Amino acid sequence: MIVHPVLSWLKDWWVGIVETYGLPTWFVPAAQMVVNAILIAGFIAVLVLFLIWLTRKVSAHIQQRLGPMRVGWHGCVQTVADALKLVQKEDTTPRDADRPVFNIAPFLAFAPTVVAFVVIPFGDGAIVRDLNIGVLFLFAITTINVIAILAGGWASNSKYSLLGGFRSAAQLVSYEVPLILSVLGVIMLAGTMKLGAIVEAQNAMWFVVYQPLGFVIYVIAATAEVNRTPFDIPEAEQELVSGFNIEYSGMKFAMFFLAEFANMFLVSAVAATLFLGGWKGPWLPGEFWFLAKSFAIVLLLMFFRWTYPRLRVDQLMSFAWKFLLPLAFLNLLVTGLILVLM
């Protein structure tokens, strides 16, 4: 409602420029791409800054503290100060590290997250590319994250980070399965993998009403997917100290951090899109509803984070394979049966 008119106005403007100055026609899509890239990168940067501040504030108030209070109103620019500090810090590499892999890993963690935002519908028409395999693309691209974490853990050449990397690989591979199975129900209902079309299909009723079990499985699996408590064993502070990112410092650490928070928003946004009706909502613009729903899920994840202890690695595995997976299949079966019988 807000983004779409602006973008189409921009497009008209470029078309005008191209016509006036006789520029080649490919200039219009190229300019659009640049603008989209800038918009997404800027959105992620602002979003992560806000999310980190929100996490600190929510955790502080749950713990009856105040959290950051000094920098800006209620510490609202504290994260900017912290980011500046991280940029200034020395970028250390361990002596025995596998340098190329060590240097690439943080960017490998961050890049897929940015790419995944391409298919997220922020509002009516506010979507970069409404791919017809949107859901598939989303889950395919976010899985690259595992490789980044594994690479980071391996290349650091530290036993703690290695354990963290392996744990993460095992965990993400296991939780990918129930995650995708839980989403299948939605795809069956909507009959498409296009995220925009899935949102349109929820015109009458949100899919969470038809797919409550699928939603619960999705939220649990997504929590594991983004390494949040109670499934944060790859970076278990208490036993692995910090897991895969233990040897990283400065900007590279910030990249991992950025990826983690952006991922957290990403899975929440996907949950909002697939189950909670995306941008659909009365009166207010669609972008607002989309953000409100996404942040509701983000807050839920934060409350998980600050309430629950962490599972052990074997319990985590058996929970995924023995509990979530059968439930996801059951959900799929029931959905299929109902669809066929109706």
Partner 1 sequence: MNVFRALGRVIKGTWWLFVGMVTTTKHMLRRSITIQYPRQRFEQWPRFRGRLAMVPDEEGGHKCTACAQCLRICPAACITLERHKEEGVKGFLVDAYVVDLGLCIYCGLCVEVCNFGALEMIPEYEISAYDKADFIYDIPKLLARQLEPEFKR
Partner 2 sequence: MTPETAYRTEEFQVNVGPQHPSTHGVFRMVLTMDGERVVDCEPHIGFLHRSMEKMAENRLYIQFLPMADRIDYLSSIFCTVAHCEAVEQLMEIDVPARAKYLRTIMMELCRIASHSIFFGVFALDLGAVTPFLYGFRERELTMDLLEMTTGQRMTFNYCRFGGVADDLPDSFFPTVEKFVKVFPARLDDYDRILNENEIFVARTKNVGTVEASRAINYGWTGPNLRASGVDFDLRRNRPYEAYGELGYEPVVLQNGDCYDRYRARILEMRSSHELIKKCVEGLPEGPVQAEKISKFPKVPAGEVYVRVASPRGDYGLYLLSEGADKPYRYKLRTPSFNNLSMIREMLLGVYLADIVPIFGSLDVILPDVDR
Are the C-beta atoms of 148 and 103 separated by less than 8 Å?
no
Quick one: which segment of 83-91, 135-143, 155-163, 211-219 binds partner 2 (CB under 8 A)? 155-163
Residue 52 beta carbon to partner 1: minimum distance, rounded to whole angstroms = 18
Which of 74, 99, 312, 322 is in the footprint of partner 2 by CB under 8 A? 312
- CA–CA separation, 228 vs 324, rounded Å? 17
89: left (phi over 0), alpha (psi -120 to 50) or beta: beta
Q: How far is the CB of 234 from partner 2 (least distance, A)?
A: 12
Residue 78, amino acid: Q
Binder of residue 66, out of partner 2, partner 1, none (CB less than 5 to 8 A by kind): partner 1
Q: Which residues bind partner 1 (CB under 8 A)?
A: 58, 60-66, 69, 303-304, 306-308
**Cβ distance to partner 1 smaller for residue 61 or 89:** 61
Closest CB to partner 1 among residues 64, 88: 64
Q: Are 216 and 187 in contact (CB under 8 A)?
A: no
Pick one of partner 1, partner 2, none as the site partner of residue 58 (Cβ within 5 to 8 A by kind): partner 1
In whole angstroms, what is the distance from residue 169 CA to residue 175 CA? 10
Residue from 124, 176, 225, 232 that binds partner 2 (CB under 8 A)? 232
Binder to partner 2 among 22, 73, 314, 340 (CB under 8 A)?
314
| Residue 81: C-alpha distances to residues 72, 86, 101, 184 (Å) | 10, 9, 29, 42
- Residue 229 contact, options partner 2, partner 1, none, Cβ 5-8 Å cut-off depending on partner type: partner 2
| CA separation for the pair 50, 68 (Å, rounded) | 13
Amino acid identity of residue 13, one-letter, is W
**Rounded CA gap, 306 and 41, in Å?**
28
Q: How far is the CB of 33 from partner 2 (least distance, A)?
A: 42
Q: Is the CB of 21 or the CB of 73 nearer to partner 1? A: 73
* Helix/strand/coil for 262: helix
Please, which residue, 105 or 163, has the CB nearer to partner 2?
Answer: 163
Per CB under 8 A, 96 contacts partner 2: no
